[in-house]
């Protein structure tokens, strides 16, 4: 028997035997955060007396000024080269930022170059956090409010009357007045969605963000209408942009051809079909929406034996009819 061939066949099979399980991933992520916060590790009790002696010696020699001053939190983690890393336990917020960056880069050509603290961090009294995200299309201020805050009520109030001294502030939310008004070199563009606020001086960037969120919302609605969970899928936009979690070139090309040739022909006003790959399973779902608001789903499974996408489901359901430009 040909070992090389059998190994490749076995490998193809093995690639599917550990399915993507969102619950398991979430549990692992939470556990990692808990462990980072508590810095728990099985403590070798034999070492305890030695550590106590060392601590006493160091303390007496004045090496623990930091702890005497009350600065030790006990939650720091020592990195390589004895560098102490401050761990700020804000997993939910950080997770939201990570997911947002992931969405932005999945839906558009936006590349993240740098992230850091935003100038708006202290301005909004009710904001959870604010980041400055530097992208290939310009800088973007991202403000994340708690889930129960509707950022869509917030409006930009700009004073462009004095050239070279443009100032702006916001209305519709509580602000730290002493930091206002904010100054800008040019016009500021704001986009708000749910509990998020984006501000930038680049009009095309704000347009991209609006497009991403609108399209994401439509896709999410379509998936939900068929009982599918957006979090379990990855959108696929462009062949070759990324390795896309291991899909082969043939798989990608074939599904793209299928997506563009729906059985009921596309009409003016229809949403372009989008391909979603299920995480951890050889399943591709093609979704789109007719101008009439009817949602369409065609779900394919990759058949390794025939090396082809096999249609598993072909469904239609009335969805939300949308106004399109």
Enumerate residues 248-307 that contact other proteins by CB under 8 A: 248-251, 277, 279-282, 302-305
User: What's the min distance (Å) between Cβ of 91 and other proteins?
Assistant: 7
Figure out which of the listed residues 23, 61, 74, 83 binds other proteins, where binding follows CB under 8 A: 83
User: What's the min distance (Å) between Cβ of 3 and other proteins?
Assistant: 5
156 beta partners:
170
Question: For residues 91 and 192, what is the distance between their CA atoms, to the nearest angstrom?
Answer: 23
Figure out which of the listed residues 20, 193, 232, 316 binds other proteins, where binding follows CB under 8 A: 20
* 24 touches other proteins (CB under 8 A): yes
* 38 touches other proteins (CB under 8 A): no
User: What's the min distance (Å) between Cβ of 184 and other proteins?
Assistant: 23
Rg (CA), the chain: 26
* 114 touches other proteins (CB under 8 A): yes
Question: For residues 281 and 16, what is the distance between their CA atoms, to the nearest angstrom?
Answer: 6
Sheet containing 138-144: give its strands across: 112-117, 129-135, 138-144, 196-200, 189-193
Figure out which of the listed residues 37, 95, 216, 226 binds other proteins, where binding follows CB under 8 A: 95
* 77 touches other proteins (CB under 8 A): yes
Cβ neighbour number for residue 137 with a 10 Å cutoff: 19
User: What's the min distance (Å) between Cβ of 171 and other proteins?
Assistant: 29
* 78 touches other proteins (CB under 8 A): yes
Residues 188-247 that bind other proteins (CB under 8 A): 240, 242-247
Question: For residues 157 and 45, what is the distance between their CA atoms, to the nearest angstrom?
Answer: 62
Cβ neighbour number for residue 41 with a 10 Å cutoff: 7
User: What's the min distance (Å) between Cβ of 177 and other proteins?
Assistant: 28
List alpha helices for the chain, DSSP H. Answer: 3-14, 22-38, 48-60, 65-68, 91-107, 203-225, 249-260
Residue 238 vs 324, nearer CB to other proteins: 238
């Amino acid at each position: 028997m040909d070992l090389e061939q059998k190994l490749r066949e076995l490998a193809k099979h093995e690639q599917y035997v550990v399915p993507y399980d969102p619950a398991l991933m979430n549990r692992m992520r939470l556990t990692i955060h808990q462990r980072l916060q508590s810095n728990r590790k099985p403590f070798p009790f034999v070492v305890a007396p030695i550590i106590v002696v060392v601590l006493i010696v160091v303390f007496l020699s004045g090496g623990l000024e930091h702890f005497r001053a009350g600065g030790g939190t006990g939650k720091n983690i020592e990195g390589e080269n004895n560098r102490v890393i401050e761990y700020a336990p804000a997993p939910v917020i950080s997770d939201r930022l990570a997911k947002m960056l992931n969405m932005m880069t999945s839906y558009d050509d936006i590349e993240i170059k740098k992230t850091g603290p935003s100038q708006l961090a202290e301005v909004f009294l009710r904001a959870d956090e604010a980041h400055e995200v530097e992208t290939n299309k310009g800088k973007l201020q991202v403000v994340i409010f708690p889930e129960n805050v509707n950022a869509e009520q917030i409006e930009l109030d700009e004073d462009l009357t004095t050239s070279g001294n443009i100032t702006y502030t916001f209305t519709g939310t509580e602000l730290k007045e002493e930091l206002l008004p904010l100054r800008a070199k040019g016009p500021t563009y704001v986009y708000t969605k749910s509990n998020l606020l984006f501000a930038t001086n680049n009009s095309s960037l704000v347009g991209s963000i609006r497009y991403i969120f609108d399209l994401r919302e439509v896709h999410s609605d379509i998936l939900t209408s068929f009982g599918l969970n957006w979090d379990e899928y990855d959108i696929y936009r462009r062949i070759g942009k990324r390795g896309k979690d291991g899909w082969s070139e043939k798989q990608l090309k074939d599904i793209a051809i299928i997506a563009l040739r729906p059985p009921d022909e596309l009409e003016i006003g229809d949403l372009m079909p989008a391909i979603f790959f299920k995480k951890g399973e050889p399943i591709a779902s093609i979704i789109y929406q007719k101008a009439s608001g009817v949602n369409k789903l065609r779900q394919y499974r990759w058949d390794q034996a025939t090396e082809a996408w096999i249609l598993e489901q072909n469904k239609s359901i009335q969805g939300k009819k949308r106004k399109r430009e």
